[in-house]
A and B are shown apart, each in its own frame.
Chain A
């Protein structure tokens, strides 16, 4: 099945794309997707910024990422075990608040 991944803000430079379509096996979860992004697309454990180092992962846990599937934070779904579907849009943000 095809899944669309859209990183935002700092993560675009790190991943090197604005939007990408990935082929994943049926039944794949957010956890599976993150493994691919870390293994094949270089999503690091932490990124160095002018403002300081931004930790993205604590082990397997994406503590420095806000991940949404179809606009729903995975915390309000099944966390890392949230299932992806054909055509799912996954958006990934660094921590951001204010405004």
Chain B
């Protein structure tokens, strides 16, 4: 087999056993590895209705066929489980080097099952793995856990771990690797915590077998050259992911005061150039990445001066900044550092705090609820203080740790109108009322309120189409054009393959599909046409959807917060706009061949995708 090792580790945490399993090549090819393959295992192994934080749930780490080969930004891995935050298919993805170093051990993935009676961590080396006691690491943050494990095993080990938030089952706890990189979304850190699994330390020496090494090398070099010529690369390298902040704000789509406005008048204090001027110390690149959008930073002024770390990314600035109406870059950066240390998704954390701020503003939350704290928009100190409380579930933090959907259900009083999540996953920092197609993709993204499933913000906010699909141009983002739902569908199907093969979706902006599929074929020895490859993406997308259908998701779940559907934007270029979701959703369902009532993929579509075996399960 090429592109992979064809085997995975199965770790039964209840029994404390580790075993090896063969991954059939036909299965690898059918689901493209990575997140796709992991989703197939999730479908097969986790029974309907399983408790996401119980022993039946699986926590599946999976690298892809390109993970670890030298091609543009191909060092990523995925984690898949039933999400405790949403109760449906959960997936998170991370870069850095952990995925590469894990795959060097001679495995493509790990399936964790059961619950360990005591805290443990897994050590994986060349063709072997063992569980070790982690009692001494329980209650320890991410950087200390990483340092202690490296101190015990050796500095060359890569560590993925949870912090205190995962241990405390914070609904949006992240899994962190190499200190600063996060498999952030869907609360998979809480799944890891529920299993009493603290960390996975890896060190190996095996190369990923490449089917056509010489041809691959030449073709990959060409892709790097194309990246070098890309104008996208220049801006992202210079300003990181926050490069888009000003454009989003000028278009009136930068969520401000928990989405009460789409224009943040203080954006110059926290935008990409502000990060470069005030805190940037170096660019940080993931494995084999030609861009290096990561920000190595140090806080140089104010009460948090002297702290160092990575970030903030655009989303961290958008949630802790715009949504919380905070223009103090140092406090935002500190909140981001703390999220990394505790292992928390910054999107859900910042968004949930913004929700609490609006509840407080409206008197739905009072000092009686908050333990005497004033939770006001614009309070830079409180965003930092609340991250500590969330991670430890202390005081008011215990309620915040449940996320905005559960908070709104508990608080009532109409707060669900402005609880900014889809399916329980908090929305990222793009107001979709300013760009209609983004609203559709929030409503339909398989893991809930997410922006990178379709990543349609390139075409909508930036007027930059993705080269990886044939046509992703959006003529006018103000117009909800049903003929353009194909853009959303095509992007979803194509970009999910990046989570399968282990690459960064940003590459899809600059590289075309034929070249990309050739890269995959030269590594794996597969003979996939571009159409085959895209269909494999569609297969994975529909399998993940079917998983969630089996858990009870229907068409009713494909919606948006009432604020986006009913409350017009009060200012900016998109003033007066709401999301016109129904017209787009109807066209999308028709194109997807999903049943408009149940929201399930039709039997005909499932047959076309080679997923016949799941028809009787979801259409029982």
Taking CB atoms, residues of chain B closer than 8 Å to A75 are: 463
Q: Which of B233, B252, B273 contacts A51 (CB 8 A)?
A: B233
Contact A71 to B572, CB < 8 A, known contacts A76-B475, A94-B231, A99-B314:
yes
Question: Which of A51, A70, A73 contacts B238, CB < 8 Å?
Answer: A51
Residue of A nearest to B229 (CB): A52
- In the complex, the 7 A-B pairs of residues with the closest C-beta atoms, listed nearest first: A71-B573, A99-B244, A99-B314, A51-B234, A97-B462, A97-B464, A95-B231
A62 close to B (CB within 8 Å): no
Contact flags (1/0) for A53-68 with B, using CB distance below 8 Å? 0110000000010101
In the complex, are the beta carbons of A9 and B273 less than 8 A apart?
yes
A68-B250 in contact (CB<8A):
yes
Closest to A95 in B: B231
Residue B476 interfacial (CB < 8 Å): yes
Query: Chain B residue with minimal CB distance to A51?
Result: B234
Give Cα distance in the complex from A99 to B243, angstroms. Answer: 7
Contact A71 B252 (CB under 8 A): yes
Among B241, B250, B476, B572, contact of A98 (Cβ-Cβ < 8 Å): B241
Check if B45 is an interface residue, CB within 8 A of chain A.
Answer: no
Q: How far is the CA of A72 from the CA of B247 in the complex (A)?
A: 11
Whether B232 pairs with A98 at a CB distance below 8 angstroms is: yes
Shortest C-beta distance, B63 to chain A (Å), equals 24
Please give me the residue from chain B that is nearest to A76 by CB atom: B476
Interface size (B, Cβ < 8 Å)?
41
User: Is A10 part of the binding interface, using a Cβ–Cβ cutoff of 8 Å?
Assistant: yes
Q: Is B121 an interface residue (CB 8 A)?
A: no
B20: Cβ under 8 A from any A Cβ? no
- Complex contacts, B509 vs chain A, CB 8 Å: 97-98
- Contact status of A8 and B234, CB under 8 A, knowing A75-B463, A96-B462, A97-B462: no
By beta carbon, the residue of chain B nearest A93 is: B247
Q: B236–A96 contact, CB under 8 A?
A: yes
A2-19 with Cβ < 8 A to chain B: 8-10, 12
Interface residues of A (CB under 8 A from B): 8-10, 12, 49-52, 54-55, 64, 66, 68, 70-73, 75-76, 91, 93-99
The winner among A91, A95, A98 for most chain B CB atoms within 10 A is A98
Interface residues of B in 244-303 (CB under 8 A from A): 244-248, 250-252, 272-273, 293
Q: Does B315 contact A (CB under 8 A)?
A: yes
A34 to chain B, nearest CB (A): 17
Distance in Å: Cβ of B225 to nearest Cβ of chain A? 12
Chain B residues within an 8 Å CB radius of A64? 231
Determine if B242 is an interface residue (Cβ-Cβ < 8 Å): yes
Measured between beta carbons, the chain A residues less than 8 angstroms from B83 are none
Q: How far is the CB of B511 from chain A (nearest CB, A)?
A: 14
User: Given the complex, which residues of A lie within 8 Å of B112, measured CB to CB?
Assistant: none
Determine which residue in B243, B273, B574 has the highest number of CB atoms from chain A within 10 A of its CB, and name it. Answer: B243
Chain B residues with CB below 8 A from A8, complex form: 246-247, 250
Across the interface, which residues of B come within 8 angstroms of A49, CB to CB?
Answer: 234, 238
Closest to B476 in A: A76
Assess whether B14 is interfacial by the CB under 8 Å rule: no
Q: Is B458 an interface residue (CB 8 A)?
A: yes
The answer on a CB contact under 8 Å between A73 and B234 is no
Asked if B235 and A94 make an inter-chain contact with CB atoms under 8 angstroms apart, the answer reads yes
A70 surroundings in chain B (CB, below 8 A): 573
- A64, B231: Cα distance in complex, Å: 8
Tell me the bound Cα distance from A96 to B457 in angstroms: 11
Contact A72:B573 (CB < 8 A) given known A93-B247, A98-B243: yes
B369 CB within 8 Å of chain A: no
Verify B247–A96 contact, CB threshold 8 A. Answer: yes
Report the minimal beta-carbon distance from B181 to chain A, rounded to whole angstroms. Answer: 16
The 8 A CB mask of B125-153 against A (1 = contact, 0 = none) is 00000000000000000000000000000
